[in-house]
Amino acid sequence: MGTAEQNIIVKTSTEIEVMQQANSIVAGVLQMLQQEMRPGLTTRQMDRWAHDYCRDHGAVPAFLGYRGFPASLCVSINEQIVHGIPSKKVKVREGDIVSVDFGTVYNGFYGDSAVTIPVGKIPAHKEKLLKVTQEALERGIKQVRIGNRIADVSAAVQSYAEEHGFSVVRQFVGHGIGSDLHEAPEVPNYVQNQPSPRIVEGLVIAIEPMINIGTANVKVLKDGWTVITADKKPSAHFEHSVAATKNGPLVLSRRQEELEKKQELQEL
């Protein structure tokens, strides 16, 4: 008989520093994609830029070849939720929302983060979806406190998303992260009726809400990878890698752009 805490590998502060470096390269990739996003760009070009940036910064793209995934970057447009495969045939268009998910390995440790990027001007319902999903992630991050449980993270994400009329994907969840990309514990974006692990110092998790405008149900396309919403309504995905420290949650994958936005809000 195990406990809910079984198999969780906590990290030392030195290991967390290495993970911060791995994640800062991920953040650099995502911020570059935010800056470069425009109508007509192919998803293959995004993948190339991500791969090259990662290599130029001394890291290895974590998703390339992972369980056979054929690219470095996952690119999922509109009703695609996660695991979209980049292609030279796919160009993004004005009004699309594009979820980009990237991972690195650096000095033996993984980084993992995702962001959903608007292409040009997007309709109001998509704008609201992005805002709510990003805020749901922030609510989840705030719960990464020693003594809390993973279920506190799940509840914060779920309640915020559902209060705004959206649904939470069940089939895919966040995860522990460290010297493996996916470690214990699972970090669901909804509350499960089962014991939930305690958050202890040195726990590092990737929190990654996948939030849908319509049904929570998903389908997988014939390529064996791309996950879409069953009703083909839009979906958003935001992810950060977060360490539990004595001083509270430490987000390892913050983008410069996010820090500047927070600074602006504080100065208002």
Based on the shown chain and the rule CB under 5 A, indicate whether residue 96 belongs to the binding site for Mg ion: no
Beta bridge partners of 101: 74, 114
Nearer CB in complex with Mg ion: 181/193: 181
C-alpha to C-alpha distances, 30 to 59, 201, 217, 249, nearest whole angstrom: 15, 28, 27, 21
Task: Answer for the pair 208, 133: CB distance below 8 angstroms, yes or no.
Answer: no
Q: How far is the CB of 268 from Mg ion (least distance, A)?
A: 32
Nearer CB in complex with Mg ion: 47/89: 47
Q: How far is the CB of 114 from Mg ion (least distance, A)?
A: 5
Nearer CB in complex with Mg ion: 82/155: 82
Nearer CB in complex with Mg ion: 93/182: 182
Q: How far is the CB of 238 from Mg ion (least distance, A)?
A: 10
Token couple for 6: 């079984």
Nearer CB in complex with Mg ion: 96/101: 101
Applying CB under 5 A, among 206, 216, 243, 251 the residue interacting with Mg ion is 206
Q: Cβ neighbours of residue 104 under 8 Å, at least 6 residues apart? A: 22, 23, 25, 26, 54, 59, 60, 61, 62, 110, 111
Amino acid letter, 220: V
Burial class (CB in 10 A: 0-12, 13-18, 19+), 128: middle
- Mode of pairing for the β-strands spanning 240-245 and 218-220: unpaired
Span interacting with Mg ion, options 35-43, 118-126, 183-191, 200-208, rule CB under 5 A: 200-208
Span interacting with Mg ion, options 29-37, 50-58, 96-104, 224-232, rule CB under 5 A: 96-104
Based on the shown chain and the rule CB under 5 A, indicate whether residue 71 belongs to the binding site for Mg ion: no
Span interacting with Mg ion, options 26-34, 86-94, 226-234, 238-246, rule CB under 5 A: 238-246
Number of chain positions touching Mg ion (CB under 5 A): 5
The torsion angle over the Cα atoms of residues 178, 183, 188 and 194, rounded to 10 degrees, is -130
Hey, which residues between 97 and 126 contact Mg ion (CB under 5 A)?
Answer: 101, 112, 114
Using alpha carbons, select from 177, 242, 235, 182 the residue that is nearest to residue 210.
235
| 109/115 Cα distance (integer angstroms) | 21
Nearer CB in complex with Mg ion: 138/231: 138
Q: How far is the CB of 101 from Mg ion (least distance, A)?
A: 4
Q: Which residues bind Mg ion (CB under 5 A)?
A: 101, 112, 114, 206, 239
